[in-house]
Chain A
Amino acid sequence: MYRYDELDQALVDQRVAEFRDQVRRHLAGELSEEEFRPLRLRNGLYIQRHAPMLRIAIPYGLLSSVQLRTLAAIARRYDRGYGHFTTRQNLQLNWPALADVPDILAELAHVQMHAIQTSGNCVRNVTADHMAGIAPDEIDDPRPYCEIIRQWATLHPEFTYLPRKFKIAVTGSPEDRAASEVHDIGLQLRRDAHGAIGFTVRVGGGLGRAPVIGQVIREWLPLAELLGYLEAILRVYNLHGRRDNIHKARIKVLVKSLGIERFGAEVEREWQASRAHAPQLTRAEVERVRGFFKPQPYETLEKYDAVAGREPAFQAWYRYNTRPHRVPGYRAVLVSLKAHGAVPGDMTSAQMEGVADLAERVSFGLIRSTHSQNLLLADVPQRALHAVWRELLALGLAMPNIGTLTDMIACPGLDFCSLANAGTISVAHQIQQRFDDLDYLYDLGEIEIKMSGCMNACGHHHVGHIGILGVDKHGEEWYQISIGGSANGFTALGEVIGPSVAQQEVAATLERIVETYRELRDEGERFIDTVRRVGIAPFRERAYAAHPAAA
């Protein structure tokens, strides 16, 4: 993984010193809340329902065991012994005290971490495919480019006060596991006929109130031009994006109002005109950063059948919670943060420490956080899998449900977030209870549920096979359900099936929806494919039928 050099370290250290002074001035009454707000946001600090919330950056989801242990220690010392992994691969602490935050940031800086630009109207954490570097279908590892973009975007003097937040994702595979099409900028790695690296650039995607799939602004962008071209997009946005209405301030609104042709022409003009002053991406710098992401020193392993003769529980876990690896004899292991009864994405300090230990022993000391709020041990020898499973079982992290209905994505919701309209945790528990039968889950196959507690769509409900959106109805928590969304490979926005349902009705409604699927599916057909084939009408009819089981 990337290691800070003296520049990187000096920058985060100086950032901590700056924020320490800003907190001091705020607590001394020299900085009003209004003045302090944009400063604390740019250091990941929200003021939430109960306490401040600190969002710690995990650039493109990659952590060392030392870093994960530090997160565990911080959560234990400054919080309540757990953290929450987000859809942007970051970690949130829900209960830190404001006065402690500079010390937390200093501890993070000590292990080459920070919370810079994890909030606020600036370029946010750059995300990537969690299978980067090991996926069999990969064109190139996206992480070196994510790291380069992270550095370029960090404390960018021109783009620190944008009209609105700005999210960039890079995918290195044809199967887009980074949801790049629903980002402000989505970069898809490509190779030209000579093998040179470049990107297809999409712009204006995003979820939130008005979900939009990003459009291609440039089919081919050579790697050397990456930063200059990003600057051109950001400059056009910074100057012309709307600032009068927070709900119309994302770049997608600007792209839509100008049209992709005109917006693209503006960017092209700006790009050509600014070349003499654009940051260069030299081959030497690319090679320096790529050097940190070389393939691990894999062993040459004998062919090994990990499941032969093993107990069914292990076989189920193997099938659902491990993934193929490019290197023979290795598998990638998903650490499920979706145990039934747990909060999706939450992890205790003890669990973090357990996974850090495990990573050191069997996966080169590295851990990844995924877009779907699980962790990944990327490089586990097949012969170690059974032991890994037993350890994960003991840690409560082996729920064999990855890719199934209960591997749902959920934002923290009303229990924590001051923006939310409705709770997500209680609904997640309700769903986990109703769908607690693994055989039933396996029969349903691959279904992605994504749940957000409000229109801001942190839970990406628009692109869930089943999306659940919390709404406020006369002070009560209701839920709007959509189906047919997808963020992988073929990006599509779900369609709302009808009126929202009361909180206690959510799981029952989902059950009617998936039962409809079971009736209508063709042999081997996934839920999403059935929805695409038959449309939402049959689901709508059944979802609202009173007590269909009794009928």
Chain B
Amino acid sequence: MRHILRQRERLADDWHYLGEECAEGDPLIVPVAQLRSDPLKWQRRTGRLGVRLGPGDAVEELAPLLPRLALIALEFPSPGDGRGYSQARLLRERLGFRGELRAVGAGVREDQAFFLARCGFDCLEPPAGVDPETLRLALRRYDVAYQPGAAHPELRRQRFFAP
């Protein structure tokens, strides 16, 4: 059973990735290539729909599909690949995505958790073998920051603000 940290709560994952065993109508995450090749098929599917993007995928192409998407998972293949941080801010701030924004992959570890949350991820899915609880604790490492960012984790003080 895969566990995730959603809204700072450790939970069993209720979503399935395409290819994993699941029932008709279960929440399903499909790779963006699948969605791209047959968007109508996936949009017509019953149940909640999510999409998984790699770090090289342009988030702007999801704009017309956003109302149908309950979840967007952005992949962090390694801790050093930081493209997902920009993708996340674009999805939240530019495209106004309000669904679940999930960070997934080998780069989703406790030492990245605070930065990920500040960029708008509300769900962290660490690699197998890493307990999401460690990520939850790591969100408390800082209670101040200089830059504007997502509303959670809450900060005691911040220097610069968006208009």
Contact = CB atoms under 8 A, between A and B. Distances in A.
Interface string A177-205: 00000000000000000000000000000
A274 interface: yes
A282 to B, nearest CB: 8
Interface string A524-543: 00000000000000000000
Given A162-B82, A243-B81, A14 B159 contact: no
Contacts of B19: none
A505 B85 CA distance: 51
Contact of B147 (A161, A279, A285): A279
Contact of A281 (B107, B158, B160): B160
Given A7-B157, A121-B80, A158 B119 contact: yes
B43 interface: no
At the interface, is chain A mostly helix, strand, loop or mixed?
helix
A15 B163 CA distance: 28
Contact of B149 (A39, A152, A157, A238): A157
B154 interface: no
Most chain A CB neighbours (cut-off 10 Å) among B93, B107, B111, B114: B111
Interface residues of A, number: 38
Q: Identify whether the interface residues of B are mostly helix, strand, loop, or mixed.
A: loop
Chain A CB within 10 A, most for which of B83, B119, B147, B156: B147
Interface string B82-126: 110111010001100000000000010101001110110000000
Contacts of A10: 143-144, 156-157
A7 B85 CA distance: 24
Contacts of B163: 275-276, 278, 280
B111 A22 contact: yes
A12 to B, nearest CB: 10
Contacts of A158: 82, 85-86, 89, 115, 119, 147
Nearest to A156: B147
Contact of A227 (B85, B111, B156, B160): B160
B157 A160 contact: no
B142 A239 contact: no
Contacts of B94: 273-274, 277
Interface string A127-163: 0000000000000000000000001101111111110
A39 B111 contact: yes
B39 interface: no
Interface string B60-80: 000000000000000000011
B79 A14 contact: no
Contacts of B111: 22, 39
A46 B79 CA distance: 18
Contacts of B143: 10, 14
Given A276-B93, A277-B162, A238 B80 contact: no
Interface of A: 6-7, 10-11, 14, 17-18, 22, 35, 38-39, 121, 151-152, 154-162, 227, 235, 238-239, 243, 273-281, 285
22 contacts: A7-B157, A10-B156, A14-B143, A22-B111, A151-B160, A157-B85, A157-B115, A157-B145, A158-B115, A161-B79, A161-B81, A161-B85, A162-B82, A227-B160, A239-B86, A274-B94, A276-B162, A279-B147, A279-B148, A279-B160, A279-B162, A280-B162
